[in-house]
Each structure stands twice: as C-alpha cells, then as structure tokens.
Amino acid sequence: MMVSSIWAENRTEPEPNEAAILNLSCYKFVPLGNLGEMRQELRQICDQLQIKGTILLSREGINFFVAGPPAAIAKLVAHLRTYPGLADIQPKESFSNDQPFSRMLVRIKQEIIAFGVESIDPARYTSKKIPAAQLKEWLDAGRPLTLLDTRNNYEVEIGTFNNALPINIDHFRDFPAAAANLPPETKDKPMVMFCTGGIRCEKAGPLMEQLGFQEVYQLDGGILKYFEEVGGAHWQGECFVFDKRVALDPHLLETATTQCYACQHPLTPTDQASPLYTPNVQCPYCCNLVAEREKRQRQARQFELNAFAANLPGKTPYDNLRPLNVPQRFAGLRVIDFLDQLHPHVGRSSWEQSIAAGRVLLGGQPVSVDLIVREGMGLRHLLPNTVEPEVNANIKIVFDDANIVVVEKPAPLPVHACGRFNRNTLEWMLQQVYRPQRLKLVHRLDADTSGLMVIARHRRAATALHQLFQANQVRKTYLARVYGHPPEDTFQSVAPISDGPENDGLRVVADAGLPSETQFRVLQRFADGSAMVEARPITGRTNQIRIHLWDLGFPIVGDTAYLPDRKLGHNASKVPGASPLCLHAWKLELPNPFGSSSADAEYSWETAPPAWTNASLWNFEDSEPKRWSVDAPSTTEARAAR
C-alpha cells in the first residue's frame, strides 16, 4: 500500500492495517495569502478524502491536526506542500484504531495560536531549538537547567517531565503575565521550554528572551516528537491531546484517560473511580461548581412553581386546544360517531354543537360532521375562554439531577391533562419550569392523593425507570387513615381489580380482573374508630390501595368513591379546602439505574406525614367518621363472607 513519505520515512515496522487511522499534527509560521481560496480548496479536498480534524489558517501561518486513512492523509500532505512556504512541512504522526475527530473544520484566524503580543513574529525569529535526543542526553547527564512546561494546568496535571516547572496558567493567553512573575534566578541558567507539539514555544521563547532570560531553548517538535524519538525517558504520566483520544502514553498510544462532560478537565482512571465523578454530569474538579449551579437552578424552578401556586395558570381564560387522536378501532367512522364513542360522557348533541361551531379542527381547519376519520389522525377540540377549576399547586421539588426529578405532589392536583384540567396539572407546570427539556411521566398518583412522584428528565431515564417499575424494583410506601380497626397488625389483599371502569364508572374487585397485591401494616388504632395503616402496593393497578382497603371493609377516610359498607360514590376531584383523601405516598425507594459511581446504589426519599395522620378528631364534609368494633372479622373472613 502506498502511504506517503511522511509515514514511510524512518519506519521499520510493517505498514499499518488498511483500516488504521493516521493522525497528523503540524504547524509552520510562514506568511500566507489568498486565505479564502486556500480554505475552500482544503475543505473540498478533506471532504473528498473523508479526513476529519481542524486546519487553522492565518496570515502568520498554518496549524493543523487531522486524521484519516493513511493514503488519504498522504494526498492531503502532498497538496499542502504545493503552497508557497509549505514545501518542507514535517508533520508528527501517530496511529489510532478509531477516528478521533467528529467533523472537519477549516478556519481563518488572526493567530494560529492565540498569544496577543504583536512584537512576537515566529516567521522572522524563534528561539534556538533543541532536538529530543539532545535533551535526553542533557537530562541523563544531570545538566543544570530549567524545564519550563508552557501548557495549561489541566494538561500538566496528567503528565510532565520530572522536576519540570509549570507556568501555572489556564489558557496560553495568560502566558506573558505568568512569565513575568517567574523567579528571577531562573534567568541565569539554561531554560528548555516544551509543549505538546512545539507551536506554543515558537511564541513563548522569543518572549522569554525579551524578558531577560539569557539562554532559552524550545524542544523541537514538542512532547509528541520527544515520545516518537526517545520514548518516555524522564517523563511521568501521559500527554494531553486535543481530540477524542484525550491522552497518549510515551508509545503514542491512546490511554484510558477521558474528559469531564461539564468542565472538560482530563480524568485519569483514578479520577474516574472517585465518588465525585458522574459521567456526563460532573467530576472531582468541578463537582462543587456543578452542585452549586444545580442548586441555583433548583431554587429558580421552585420559585417559579411557587408563582404558579400563587396565581394558577388555568385561572386566566385561554383558548384550549385538546388533542383527539384516532385509535385504530375507530378508523372508518364518521367524525361525530368517533367523538361520541371516544367520549360518551360529553353527549352526542354537545359534539354536534362543537362541530357546527367550528371547534373540532384538523390541521387548524374546522371539520364537517361527515368526515371519515383514519387511524392516527390528529384532531383538536377548541375550548375557547377556558377557565379551569382551582387546585392545590404547592408542588415541592424534593430532588433532581441529570436523570430524574422527584417532587412532593399536593392534593388536590391532577397529574396530567384530563377532563376539566389542562394547565392546572402537575405535568404542565413542571414542563414550564424545566423547559426546553421535556419531562417524561413514568407513574402517577390520583388527583386527591398527595406524596412522592419520580419523573424522568429524558427518554433514556424513562426507559430505565419503566424497567424498574415493571420488575417490581420500586418500593412505594403509603400512609392511609381508614375507617375501622383491622384486627391483624399485618395483612394483605390479592383481590383482582377490573381492567377498566365497571360499577358507576369505577374500577372494582372483579373475578376476571387483573392480578393485584397490596401489603398492609397497622401503625396505630385511634379512639375514634379509625386507624393509621401503612400500605405497600406490590402491583400498580389504578386505585389499587383504595379498592383493596374498601373491599376488605376498611375504606379510606375522605374517599368519595369507595365508601363505607362497600358502597360506591363518585370519583370527581376535590376542591382545595375540602376534607382530604387520607392517602399519602410517604416513601419511595428504587435502585439507581444510571450506573453512576458517584451516586448512591439506591435512591431513597421520605416526606413528612400529613396533618391527618395525628390522633385528633375533626369533621369531614364528605362522610362522618364511623366507629368500628375492634372485634371486627379478620380480613380473611371478610373476603370469604363477601
């Protein structure tokens, strides 16, 4: 395989595999003209050859770091050598299995390496260069000199020469000020400067001479050329490189070092093992900054939620467009028949009036009553001047990170849009404060149930949480105040629950229903005949805890749907200030599914018990407390007698 002279020169090893990626870095300070034309030509050539990386062009010269198939790289270098002043460029090279760059950039810059000192012109003058082999000889002999590392602090931290003096900067633009503050005694002995590929020293060396340093050398070709020619002698650690490889060892091979997603600091395997490291979130070098930023963001979101509580978003009249998507089972029906069957509680005449008034829309246009609907068709129902019922919007953010949000939901508050509610819902308000991110609901609570909910911040998190719920790995613990004194301290219900509404539109226990299980533990029996019960649902059916307790003869205090004596009521949401449904999602525990070494292996949250958990009596508007005999039949007997 013909590669190029840049690969073949001084090589004794076999030619690389066809699939190998050749990485080149090179610079030259030389006056260049026609930069726009040069940029266009190089971009076209790199695109044709499937080369990626960055080429910086300036009137002071060229700086490039590119990667691609060896034959393609050889063609690029051959073309570069046709430009005036670039015929003698000698790129530094290394091989990698994968392409380290994600795209190709060709840019025109004021300087190919930002420095900001106009008097420095490397095309006219640079400090003396010392070859890698000669520097090794000096170091082997213990010759007195100062090794000055001109790189940024984060580069120095992962590797440098033994006993090297760091310039202690975060950006090369800061070099002139830092150099002026070097110890005076360093001016009187030889100084060898070094950087990754040598380009920074081309400007730093002349500056040091201007500052009065008597004998200044720059390492020819930088650290990478030193590795290539003499290996890792007198070097400790790795060398940072500005591509996806992050760091190379003295054999010019990619290491396990990576970079922090947040601050871009290089992270060694030791850094990655730190409990302060969270992939795609933070690292030990920025964790405090990340935590402080997240705290401020959380406080801002809580402030916005508090504003919703003070002035409900559904309180001001607005035009509400409600989605009416067509399921497969309704395909082929007239639109009036589809609407009547989809939402029969609205009434056919009401749907006819809405269609006649032009409030049923398709693509923003009113539909006719005879429109034939298709599966997946997205209709909209316009509800003008909508004003929603009041809710309790005192939502509290308990926890959030890059993957999840945990909130304490108040009651009454619907979780998502339904019936008369759209903006006055937990989902709508959270979406506003976390925008532009779209949160994903993974479970729900009834509008009248308060307590903890976990919500995914992105699709991958939603998938991970769904898997935990399906595998019964999410432990939910509720508090419920019930009518009656269960005779057993611990009991359970495995009564199957209907798959859809049956009696009076409510789900109930049904012999052909879905398998369901809830475990209960009595926490306290009160003198008024009620009891405090801990409930742990093993399955997750709609209204499961309410139905199981009702079926066992211990309905929840304040429940308007599942009443004492196994009577059924209605399931309409309460209004703020009404007697509460005494059901609260108290604790939430789940394994951490996100594979972070910094987070706990298991998440665990607990809220303060609501006021209704204490023993005092108070009046309920929906139903009066009822005294129950302490010698009521056991739950097993109650189920058998039913």
Of the candidates 433, 439, 412, the residue with the CA atom closest to the CA atom of residue 424: 412
Looking up tokens 């299980």 gives 517
C-alpha distances in Å from residue 128, one per residue of 92, 205, 324, 390: 20, 8, 77, 79
Q: How many CA atoms lie within 13 A of 272 on its CB side?
A: 13
Dump the DSSP string for 602-622: EEEEE-PPPGGGSS-----SS
Residue 427: phi and psi, rounded to 5, are: -60, -50
The one-letter code for the residue type at 221 is G
Q: Which two tokens stand for residue 226?
A: 């030193």
In terms of Cβ atoms closer than 10 Å to its own Cβ (0-12, 13-18, 19+), residue 538 is: middle
Q: Which of 195, 260, 286, 582 is catalytic?
A: 195
Dump the DSSP string for 66-119: EEE-HHHHHHHHHHHTTSTT-TT---EEEEESS---SSEEEEE-S-SS----TT
Angle, vertex CA 511, rays to CA 508 and CA 513, nearest 5: 60
In terms of Cβ atoms closer than 10 Å to its own Cβ (0-12, 13-18, 19+), residue 343 is: middle
Active site residue 195: yes
Bridge partners for 55 per DSSP:
64, 106
Integer Cα distance of 171 and 153 in angstroms: 8
Which H or E run contains 551? helix 544-552
Integer Cα distance of 449 and 614 in angstroms: 18
Cα dihedral sign, 405-408-413-418: positive
The one-letter code for the residue type at 458 is H
Instruction: Give every CB contact of residue 631 below 8 A, 6+ residues apart in sequence.
Output: 487
Integer Cα distance of 250 and 264 in angstroms: 22
Instruction: Give every CB contact of residue 173 below 8 A, 6+ residues apart in sequence.
Output: 114, 115, 116
**Residues labelled as active-site residues:** 195
